[in-house]
Chain A
């Protein structure tokens, strides 16, 4: 059933709509209208905020409610966890389902910023156990970082960047598909790279980060023997990021094969 309402009729209904007090056909018509009308959307948001203030009674949920709910989470890991795991594993592994989720929620961008290590286990990698080991990793990373204020700030900046509109995640992996580093690239070209298990290089060697644009490699920075965290700036047409190992203090043109490579999604 398609109910057609004039703009003014819809506006009159927005208060009732925000309180779920309209008929289903009216709700459908209003929802369709909201998709294209920012002003009405704002009004509904405001009404809901007022309602939220009215609703707030009680400070915490009753005892035991979280535990009962957490038990359900364990019993039934979300069916859609697989694509999310794909996201962690890299661009190709994410597949279409992963890409859909990525667009929807900007989750992938956070993946890049969080510097998480999830191994590419052979065979059936259990989603839940992967998540747990990943949580341990996050814990370790966070602890290590909290000891170093400046670095932690950069990581926070990267995390914030990951939430920005148009942020793109890049997973740099080795030719053997082991994770090496994660990066996030903002719409304005600012980027952050975070180590994801790259080995320390011997003295006299350094990692070097490159933007691959139109078949050319442009140097973005020379992190040193360890990848750690760094910020950089990519040209507009960047297709991919690549990491090479060079003689310190770095080179203008690399003759070496990339040790890590990741596509920048458009």
Chain B
């Protein structure tokens, strides 16, 4: 299988090749998605070295257990990002990085709403994502940002924002739904 064929392969076929211990298939998946995985981990952890460890862990996990990816349950990118996010949040919630996190909170909450807009990627789609973010009610946007990029649980978000837990839960959910709505109206989003 030449590298040209690998490049043309869909993500699902790529994962099958990875299942056969094809290192070049893993390299191709890495080429496609490691940038995003790394950026997310770094965004959550505020630490380059820790972010790289997360990237390695996520791709080694894909290498060792490719069958954990189920194409029926979403795209490979969203799978890898969800894994990366989960791992980064685990690290964040461990004692080791508590101090770093507290420092980050001091900065982060002051600028809530700033980061999402500046973290979206720089392609045509970015405009639509920015628009969708900008259209969010500010409460929903803050709740999503603190949870996703800040790695906070909804209870912590509630405390940070001085809002009831139930309210924060529904803000996160309705904000995500609202974004999906406006993104699919713009023709963006996985099938």
Interface residues of A (CB under 8 A from B): 12-16, 18-23, 41, 45-62, 65-66, 68-70, 72-73, 78, 80-81, 84, 88, 101, 104-107, 110-111, 114, 127, 131, 135, 138-139, 142-143, 146, 159, 162-163
Minimum distance in angstroms from A58 CB to a CB of chain B: 4
Partner of A61, one of B55, B73, B77, B155: B55
Chain A residue numbers with a CB within 8 Å of B12 are 163
List the A residue with the shortest CB-CB distance to B144: A19
List the A residue with the shortest CB-CB distance to B168: A16
Chain B residue numbers with a CB within 8 Å of A20 are 82, 85-86, 89, 147, 151
Q: Is the interface of B mostly helix, strand, loop or mixed?
A: helix
Chain A residue numbers with a CB within 8 Å of B166 are 12
- Assess A70 versus B27: contact at CB under 8 Å? Given A19-B148, A51-B82: yes
Partner of A45, one of B60, B73, B154: B73
Q: Give complex CA distance A159, B5 in Å.
A: 12
Minimum distance in angstroms from A146 CB to a CB of chain B: 8
B109 at the interface (CB under 8 A from A): no
B120 at the interface (CB under 8 A from A): yes
A54, B78: Cβ atoms closer than 8 Å: no
B45 at the interface (CB under 8 A from A): no
Q: Give complex CA distance A55, B23 in Å.
A: 26
Q: Give complex CA distance A135, B173 in Å.
A: 46
Q: Give complex CA distance A182, B175 in Å.
A: 50
B17, A61: Cβ atoms closer than 8 Å: no
Interface residues of B (CB under 8 A from A): 1-2, 5, 12-13, 16-17, 19-24, 26-27, 30-31, 34-40, 43, 52, 55-56, 59-60, 63-64, 66-67, 73-75, 77-79, 81-82, 85-86, 89, 116, 119-122, 125, 129, 133, 144, 147-148, 151-155, 157, 166, 168-170, 172-177, 179-180, 183, 188-190
- Assess A59 versus B67: contact at CB under 8 Å? Given A23-B153, A138-B1: no
A110, B190: Cβ atoms closer than 8 Å: no
| Minimum-distance CB pairs A-B, first 4 | A15-B173, A105-B67, A61-B34, A104-B67
A72, B129: Cβ atoms closer than 8 Å: no
Minimum distance in angstroms from A69 CB to a CB of chain B: 5
Minimum distance in angstroms from B190 CB to a CB of chain A: 5
B89, A58: Cβ atoms closer than 8 Å: no
- Assess A107 versus B16: contact at CB under 8 Å? Given A15-B169, A20-B151: yes
Chain B residue numbers with a CB within 8 Å of A49 are 74-75, 78, 180, 189-190
List the A residue with the shortest CB-CB distance to B32: A60
List the A residue with the shortest CB-CB distance to B140: A15
A21, B38: Cβ atoms closer than 8 Å: no
A/B interface sample: 11 pairs, CB < 8 A: A16-B153, A16-B168, A20-B85, A21-B152, A47-B173, A52-B78, A52-B82, A81-B21, A84-B21, A114-B1, A135-B22
Partner of A59, one of B35, B157, B177: B35
- Assess A62 versus B38: contact at CB under 8 Å? Given A45-B78, A73-B23: yes
B133, A54: Cβ atoms closer than 8 Å: yes
Q: Give complex CA distance A73, B82 in Å.
A: 23
A66, B180: Cβ atoms closer than 8 Å: no
Chain B residue numbers with a CB within 8 Å of A51 are 78, 81-82, 85, 148, 176
Q: Give complex CA distance A104, B69 in Å.
A: 10
Minimum distance in angstroms from B109 CB to a CB of chain A: 15
